[in-house]
Amino acid sequence: MAISDFNEQEFVEILKKYLSPAKPIGSIERLHGRSRALRDIEKALYADGRNVFIYGDRGVGKSSLAQTAANQYQSSDNKFILVECCPDSTFSSIIKSIARKAVNNSSERIEKITKTKISAKILSYESINKSISDNTLSSFDSIDHASDIIQYVSEIHSERPIVVIDEFDTIKSEEERNLFSSFLKHLGDKDIKTKFIFAGISQTLESLLGAHMSSIRQLETVRLERLSWDARWEIVDDVAKGLGLKIDRNLLIRIAGISDGFPYYVHLIAEKIMWHIFEKNNSCIEINIEDYYCGINKAIDSISPHLKHPYEKATLARDQQYHYVLWSMADAYDLQRNTNNIYKSYVQIMKEINEKALEKPAFLRRLSTLKQKSSEFILTGVYDRKGWYQFRESMVRGYVRLFAESNGIELRAETSDEPKMPTALGREKSSNRAHQSSTYPKGYWRSS
Ligand SMILES: Nc1ncnc2c1ncn2[C@@H]1O[C@H](COP(=O)(O)OP(=O)(O)O)[C@@H](O)[C@H]1O
Ligand SMILES: [Mg+2]
């Protein structure tokens, strides 16, 4: 079928089947590039007493991996339990929330249990049920009590229950976060079958869990990196095929490159391109460069404000050079770069747009301004590495790349400052770069 054969409702259904920029994925068919991580998690969960902690940058796909792994592990007699933390969450509020969800999801099973199990169990279940619904009981402060609750959750919920505790990083109190390490040890000792997958934003596990919890043997830790090239392509390729569209390999490479490995951008750009083609109302069978640029521009307009805002703040009411300095910063595979390499990128970009480059000291002054509050701290230094910079939030780098692209500059995506990175694609892309930028209308400047 071609895209012109679908009515709007059919089109939307196909789009939703393949793309979800604002929602984590829970099914293995749609989770690209994570088979090894999934397998490691699966093995860890099958080991007695082991649980999993997934960490990495915002938007890299932690919730999706956690939910897909939970769906894989959870027995079919119930749904896995999902708890999303917030700044005020405490150890006890999370345990209560797990119990409440287990009870709500398990009414049929509870009926069966009450019919078949001995009355002591029913009594225990009732007392647990009462304690979680009783607002005057302010906390389950003993780890022992919490593991009793989880023991009952294990009984009422399902054959193989699993809980996902997401956004763990948002819990303000370090003390509350630390309680989970004693709790996990306790669960292991008591042989309780409910499993836990935690997920949270962090560059390092120690900074989130402290040295103590990050080293306990009850936790398998998974650091999630940006998505591989293949996985980025697959997302776009799948939806294009679903809509009966062909897409040229070069365009796939560009979408994959511009996304910087953050699946959110791949979904968003693909969604905008597909809508553009659908609304053209013609018998399009192949996505072209014009569709691509329309998609990019629409994606920029609808990007989450928290990703857009730092770039706008850092460039607003300042000279154009601030745009170029930020683009230079994002012009490599590496998230952390030293000033020599950033300046090299800058000089190259200025050549491409035919403008005079600043001398290095003036360039460095601007780079340094971008680390300050007036620039929303869009850049930061790198711990223990003088003269190195990174984006405070890696995902903002993706927005910078998107913005540069919408102005006709395709930043390098696979080429690394360090020569050890794969080069085939990098060579192909860098040799194309001058050509690509000259295909874009000259003098076009998109305002932020
Ligand atoms: N492996 C993947 N393959 C395809 N899409 C993904 C993958 N991982 C995440 N996504 C998509 O990327 C977006 C962000 O993912 P999410 O899991 O919410 O990230 P995080 O929890 O790390 O912030 C979501 O729209 C999700 O649908
Ligand atoms: Mg998440």
CATH, residue 200: 3.40.50.300
- Ligand 1 binding site (Cβ under 6 Å of any ligand atom): 20-21, 23-25, 31-34, 58-64, 231, 235, 263-264, 267
- For residue 318, pLDDT beyond 70: yes
Mean pLDDT of 381-396: 93
The pLDDT confidence band at residue 200, using thresholds 50, 70 and 90, is: very high
CA of 9 to the centre of ligand 1 (A): 24
Helix %, strand %, coil % of the chain (to 5) = 55, 10, 35
Please tell me the predicted confidence (pLDDT) of residue 143: 86
> Ligand 1: distance of its center to the CA of 341 in Å?
30
What burial letters (b/e) apply to 277-286, b meaning 16+ CB within 10 Å? bbeeeeebee
Closest C-alpha residue for ligand 1 atom 16? 61
Determine the Cα angle at 19 with ends 239 and 162, to 5°.
Answer: 125
Atom index in ligand 1 nearest the CA of residue 66 equals 17
Say yes or no: 194 and 318 in one domain: no
In a domain, 244, yes or no: yes
CATH classification at residue 329: 1.10.10.10
Tokens representing residue 146 in the block: 């919490």
Residue 425 banded pLDDT, cuts 50, 70, 90: very low
Residues 259, 377 within the same domain = no
**Tens digits of residue pLDDT in 94-146:** 999 999 899 887 766 655 555 555 444 444 555 566 555 554 444 456 888 89
**Rounded (10°) CA dihedral 267, 396, 34, 252:** 50
- Closest residue by Cα to atom 18, ligand 1, is 24
Smallest-distance ligand from the CA of 224 = 1
Question: Looking at the 3D structure of the chain, how many domains does it have?
Answer: 3
Residue range 196-214: mean pLDDT, rounded: 83
One domain for residues 252 and 336:
no
Q: Which residues surround ligand 2, an ion (CB under 5 A)?
A: 63
Q: How many of the other CB atoms lie within 10 Å of CB of 185?
A: 17
247 and 294 part of one domain: yes
Smallest-distance ligand from the CA of 222: 1
Same domain, 197 and 240: no
Do 213 and 240 have their domain in common?
no
In a domain, 7, yes or no: no
Residues 334 and 404 in one domain: yes
d(CA 121, CA 130) in angstroms, rounded, equals: 14
pLDDT reading at 356 higher than 70: yes
Atom of ligand 1 at shortest distance to CA of 19?
Answer: 27
* Tens-place pLDDT, residues 206-263: 877 777 777 778 889 999 999 999 999 999 999 999 999 999 998 999 899 889 899 9
Nearest ligand 1 atom to the CA of 166 is 21
pLDDT in tens, 261-315: 999 999 999 999 999 999 987 788 899 999 999 999 999 999 989 899 999 999 9
Q: Among 109-113, 187-191, 335-339, 429-433, which stretch is predicted with the lowest mean pLDDT?
A: 429-433
Residue 24 lies in a domain: no
Percent of the chain with pLDDT over 90: 63
116 domain residue, yes or no: yes
Q: Ligand 1, residue 227: give the atom nearest the CA.
A: 1
Q: Find the 379 Cα to ligand 2 centroid distance in Å.
A: 23
Ligand 1 centroid, distance to 27 Cα (angstroms): 11
User: Which residues are CB-contacts of 26 (< 8 A; sequence separation ≥ 6)?
Assistant: 64, 67, 68, 70, 71
Mutate which of 23, 25, 304 for ligand 1? The one with the most ligand atoms within 8 Å of its CB, which is: 25
Nearest partner of 233 among 212, 211, 257, 210, judged by Cα = 257
Ligand 2 midpoint to CA 62 (Å) = 6
Which ligand 1 atom lies nearest to the CA of residue 224?
A: 22
Same domain, 56 and 194: yes
> In the listed set 273, 301, 329, which residue is the last one of a domain according to the structure?
301
Domain C-terminal end among 258, 274, 301: 301
Which residues are CB-neighbours of 379 under 8 A, at least 6 positions away?
A: 329, 367, 370, 371, 389, 390, 391, 392
Q: What SS3 state is found at 247?
A: strand
pTM passes above 0.75:
yes
Name the percent of the chain lying above pLDDT 70. 85
User: What is the predicted pLDDT for the residue at 113?
Assistant: 58
> Looking at ligand 1, which atom is closest to the CA of residue 58?
23
pLDDT at site 115: 54
User: Whose CA is closest to atom 9 on ligand 1?
Assistant: 61
Domain CATH for 280: 1.10.8
- Choose the final residue of a domain: 270, 301, 332: 301
Distances (CA, A) of 185 to 140, 234, 290: 17, 40, 57
Q: Give me the pLDDT at residue 424, please.
A: 42
Asked whether residue 406 is assigned to any structural domain, the reply reads: yes
Please report whether residue 62 resides in a domain. yes
Distance from the CA of 61 to the center of ligand 2, in angstroms? Answer: 7
Distance 21 CA to ligand 1 centre (A): 8
Taking 90 as the threshold, does the pLDDT of residue 416 lie above it? no
Same domain, 319 and 396: yes
Residue 208 covered by a domain: yes
Specify the residue with its C-alpha closest to ligand 1, atom 13: 264
Mutate-to-test residue for ligand 1 from 38, 39, 58, 64, highest number of ligand atoms within 8 A of CB: 64
In a shared domain, residues 309 and 338: yes
Q: Across residues 60-76, what is the average pLDDT?
A: 97
Ligand nearest to the CA of 19: 1
Ligand at shortest distance from the CA of 264 = 1
Q: Are residues 336 and 417 in the same domain?
A: yes
Q: Same domain, yes or no, for 383 and 431?
A: yes
Residue 287 lies in a domain: yes
Please report which confidence band the pLDDT of residue 415 belongs to, taking 50, 70 and 90 as the band edges. Answer: confident
**End-to-end C-alpha distance for the chain, whole angstroms:** 39
Closest CA to 251 of 219, 215, 276, 287: 287
Q: What is the pLDDT of residues 4-61, one digit of tens each?
A: 888 999 999 999 999 999 999 999 999 999 999 999 999 999 999 999 999 999 999 9
Domain that holds residue 426: 305-438
Q: Are 199 and 63 in contact (CB under 8 A)?
A: yes
Looking at residue 131, its amino acid is S
Assess contact for 264 and 21: CB atoms under 8 A: yes
In the predicted model, is pLDDT for residue 150 greater than 50? Answer: yes
